[in-house]
Each structure stands twice: as C-alpha cells, then as structure tokens.
Amino acid sequence: MWIRRYRCGGDGTGSGGDNGGGTGGSTGCEAEAFENPTDPTSGNGPCGGGVITEPNVGVNESQCFKIKKKFRNPRFVEKYDKINKPEIFDLDHETWAFERYPPKENNLPSGFVDVENYPGTTNMDLPVDKNGIVGLMHSHNNEDSKGNHPVKIFSPTDIRTFINHLTPQANSYTGSYTNAYSVVTTSNGNYMLQYNNNSWPGSVSRDTKAIWQTWYENQYNRLTIDELMNPSIVEKIFTQFIKEIVNIDGLEIYKITSSSASKLEYNGKNNPVISTPCP
C-alpha cells in the first residue's frame, strides 16, 4: 500500500492513491508540492509550504502492474490523454511530455513537463539536465511536413533514448531500471516500452544505432501506405526488430489503452505476433 503524509501550515491533511494524484484536505498544498517537487518548503503556496512523503517506486512489481499503476495516476493520464487525440496526430510535429523524479532522499513524488516541438519537426531533444527523467511520452503523426508517413510505433532513436537515458535515471532515482518507460501514441494504437531486467545493458553507441536504423528503414520502406496503416504488419516488423536486431535482454513492448495492456512478442516469420494480455 502507498501512503502519503501531508504537513501544511494550517489544518490541511490528506492521503493519496497509487503513484500520484491523491486527494487531501488541503488541495493547495498538494498542488504546490507537485508543481515544485524539489522545493517543498518554498512557502509560496496557500499553505505556506508543505512536505509530501511517499515510498520509492516498487522494484519487484510486474510490468503489467506498473502499467496499471501509471493509469491510476491522474497526472500521467492527463499527459497521456493530451497527446492521444486526432488533432495531435494531424499536426506536422511531435508533441511530448516527460516525467522527472527528485532525489530519492527527498521522498517527493515526480512531476510531469509538457514539451511541444517547433512546427515541421519530429526530433525530440531531452533537456540538458536529464537527471531524474525516467519516463517519456510522445506522439507519432499521420504525416510530416514533407508528406511522409511516419511509422506508427517506436523508432530506433526512441529505443536508444530509452536505454541510454531513461533506464539509468530510473535506477538512480527510483531504485530500479525496471521503472523506466517510454510511450508512443498514434492514430493506429499506442505502445509502451518497458525494461524487465535488474542489470543495465550499457549504452547503445551511435554505430549500433546506425545499424538498427538501416535495418528498420529497409523493412518499413518496403511497405505500401495501406500496409503502414496496418498495425499487425507494423507490430510484426517491430517485434522482429526488438528480438533479432536490438536483442537487449529485458526490453519489452506493450500495446496499451487507458484500461488494458498486452505484451507483444515476435513468433517467427510465418506466425502472427504473440499478444499476451495483462491480467
């Protein structure tokens, strides 16, 4: 069970739910702590400052449970819903958000930050200060500014960012590599990368990423527009890519909605992708 304790200047007290977004007798204190998680004693809010304490993210939970817990966090859901809309997919640039944790010893919840690229751009650049960034959510659009149709699933760059930055930050700030995540939303379905291994595989080099990129483009560039719009085809190529080309033990992909998740696994050239629903 997750428990929050609030101390506010005044009589505000309360308790929260799983992984964020609880309710309390003093909503001003809660909002202040979320908006400024590294400075709970700033005293600028209606309660004159406050402290939220919360145990570290669980390190022995199943990946399915981690996904469910994220969707019980109103702040996660708010950002997810914001980039999971037809009008977002019709833009010519990606929209995204990231989740950042304060140092573990602060016993404070994470915060979420919105980021929107310039028109006509699809590249994402994390802040120079990447400390505490354990999760990333972003959209893939229907068409870019040049009339190209982006692949509606993660790119090799997305995977490299996940391994090189999100997993080590998750270990440092939550106690486990397995608490990192990356989400992509598309008009054909949404996906989440998870890491289910207690050891870090090491950084992915630019040369390795270039090998990944070549294979990825060769496979997806062969597809017609109709095939690119077919999630089953896109997922089969991607799960093969994860298993045979990336080949990082513990790297997993889930197809997600706000109320369900299924792990996707490659099952050979002549077989459909294995989809295992979370209980």
Say if residues 8 and 15 touch (Cβ distance below 8 Å).
no
Q: How many angstroms separate the CA atoms of 81 and 95, rounded?
A: 12
Q: What is the pLDDT of residue 40?
A: 30
**pLDDT tens track for 161-193:** 999 999 999 999 999 999 999 999 999 999 999
Q: What is the pLDDT of residue 118?
A: 76
Q: Where are the alpha helices (DSSP H) in 136-230?
A: 156-161, 167-174, 206-220, 225-228
Does the pLDDT value for residue 206 go beyond 90? yes
Please state the separation of Cα 171 from the chain's center in Å.
15
Give the three-state DSSP class for 67.
helix
| Amino acid letter, residue 216 | Y
Give the three-state DSSP class for 50.
strand
**pLDDT tens track for 127-152:** 889 999 999 999 999 998 888 899 99
**pLDDT tens track for 220-258:** 999 999 999 999 999 999 999 999 999 999 999 999 999
| Amino acid letter, residue 191 | Y
Q: In terms of Cα–Cα distance, which of 141, 95, 92 is closest to 119?
A: 92
Mean pLDDT within 14-28: 32
Q: What is the pLDDT of residue 59?
A: 44
Mean pLDDT within 52-73: 72
Cα three-residue angle 153-77-160, rounded to 5 degrees: 35
Q: What's the per-residue H, E or C state across 72-99?
A: CCHHHHHHHHHCCCHHHHCCCCCEEEEE
Q: What is the pLDDT of residue 172?
A: 95
Of the chain, the percentage scoring pLDDT greater than 90 comes to: 68
Cα three-residue angle 226-267-134, rounded to 5 degrees: 80
Q: In terms of Cα–Cα distance, which of 192, 182, 167 is closest to 258?
A: 192
* Mean pLDDT over the full length of the chain: 81
Does the pLDDT value for residue 26 go beyond 60? no
Pairing of strands 95-100, 50-53: unpaired
